[in-house]
Amino acid sequence: MKIHNFNAGPSVLPKEVVRKSAQSVINFNDTGLSLLEISHRSQDFLEIIEKTTCLVKRIMNLNDEYAILFLQGGATLQFSMVPYNLMHKKAAYLDTGFWAYNAIKEAKKLGKVKILFSGRKNNYTYISKNYHIPYDMDYFHCTSNNTIVGTQMKIFPKTSVPIVCDMSSDIFSRKLDFDQFSLIYASAQKNVSSAGMTIVILKKDILGKLKKNIPSYMDYKIHIQNNSILNTPNVFSIYNSMLTLEWIENQGGLSILEKKNQHKAKLLYDEIDQNNLFENKIHKENRSNMNVSFFLKNKNLEKKFNKMWKKENIVGLDGHRYLGGYRASIYNALSNESVQFLIEIMKEFERKFS
């Protein structure tokens, strides 16, 4: 039974990652132990952490000025950890979606936030490029991809202020100059692994400038000193990440994946634009290549469309509960075939109900 999984996260993973993970749950590396039963301080696991760290750096083309951390608590904990570690007095934020807005709410608890642009009144369908980052900000925070509405930042500003970016829903989906960022974080359950782990990639020299007495778990410096095992990390998700990153390298790396992702997104947006029954509300140059949102122009057809795609083993196509409509999340591991299949359904629906 082939399932077409358009879930927004947790979401589809490469088949071989799933297969190897299941195998490791039974018998990890022929140790006779389950991956779930090995010590996080065993040589076996230290090698996993080391290998995963190297893979992240190699795939993102980052040098040793960067540290890679595998933490818990999701992007939500990062919304607080970032200002705890980097906010002396004030920081600049872009309000480009629900999660960006939440990041702002958390930062406001710890200092002053200057919002440089807010897409809130336009329902986040548009991201401005016309904003100015004051030089005296402690950092500039942005969210590269809005998972819910389906927008994506295509370019990032040039600034002397450290750039912090939440890449939860598009990390490892495209080639960027990653060294333009001082800190990148991403909850891993979309493009990387199973849920319950957050990757943090940060330039070590941005730390140590504040003298706050913060909780140890919130302190990046302490996590770096402890190589992500201050306490027991999410062993299983880190292992999955290693497998996914190996898969990414085998696919040819980020430039190849970017092309594939662009191609999948173009096919789907083209169909939405051509199809009489559907529409996408996003400003064209901000359309996300990861989360494609669309709506039926005639809401009365919803039940019929839902019946049609659900019958065809498509899952996860419902829009976010705040938004309604539809959303196809087309992450790295979502095949071209699944996109084509969805397009065929949409075409058939148009033929029947147009």
Active site residues: 99, 166, 190
Q: Which of 49, 77, 153, 245 binds its own copies (CB under 8 A)?
A: 77
Strand pairing report for 326-329 and 291-296: antiparallel
289 part of the interface to its own copies, by CB under 8 A: no
Work out whether 113 is an interface residue with its own copies (CB under 8 A).
Answer: no
Q: By CB under 8 A, which span of 51-59, 118-126, 224-232, 276-284 interacts with its own copies? A: 224-232
Binding to its own copies by residue 5, rule CB under 8 A?
A: yes
By CB under 8 A, which span of 30-38, 169-177, 266-274, 294-302 interacts with its own copies?
30-38
Would you say 269 or 327 has its CB closer to its own copies? 327
Instruction: Kindly indicate which of the ranges 60-68, 98-106, 247-255, 285-293 contains the residues binding its own copies, using the contact rule CB under 8 A.
Output: 98-106
Instruction: Report which of 186, 187, 137 is spatially closest to residue 157, judged by C-alpha positions.
Output: 137
State how far the Cα of 60 lies from the Cα of 45, in Å rounded to an integer. 23
Binding residues for its own copies restricted to 44-73, rule: CB under 8 A: 72-73
75 lies in the site for its own copies, by CB under 8 A: yes
Pair 125, 105: CB distance under 8 Å: no
Complex with its own copies: residue 76 or 128, whichever CB lies closer: 76
The letter for the amino acid at 237 is S
Of residues 228 and 289, the one with the C-beta less far from its own copies: 228
Among 130, 213, 255, 354, binds its own copies (CB under 8 A): 213
Q: For residue 84, give both structure tokens.
A: 């705890």
Question: Does residue 74 belong to the site contacting its own copies (CB under 8 A)?
Answer: yes
Return d(Cα 113, Cα 92) in angstroms, integer. 6
Task: Return d(Cα 142, Cα 310) in angstroms, integer.
Answer: 35
Query: Residues 231 to 270: which contact its own copies by CB under 8 A?
Result: 231-237, 240
Select from 16, 25, 115, 206 the one that contacts its own copies (CB under 8 A): 25
Using CB under 8 A, count the residues that bind its own copies.
66
* Tokens encoding 210: 């504040």
Exposed/middle/buried for 341, CB within 10 Å: 0-12, 13-18, 19+? middle
Shortest Cβ 303–its own copies spacing (Å): 19
The distance of closest approach from Cβ of residue 263 to its own copies in the complex, given in angstroms and rounded to an integer, is: 22
Residue 147 near residue 321 (C-beta atoms within 8 A): no
Q: Between residues 282 and 333, which has the closer beta carbon with respect to its own copies?
A: 333
Give the interface segment with its own copies, choosing from 58-66, 89-97, 187-195, 342-350 (CB under 8 A).
Answer: 187-195
Q: Is 111 in the site for its own copies (CB under 8 A)?
A: no
The binding site for its own copies (CB under 8 A) comprises 1-3, 5, 7-13, 18-19, 21-23, 25-26, 31-34, 36-41, 72-77, 79-80, 102, 105-106, 109, 187, 189, 193-197, 213-218, 230-237, 240, 313, 315-316, 321
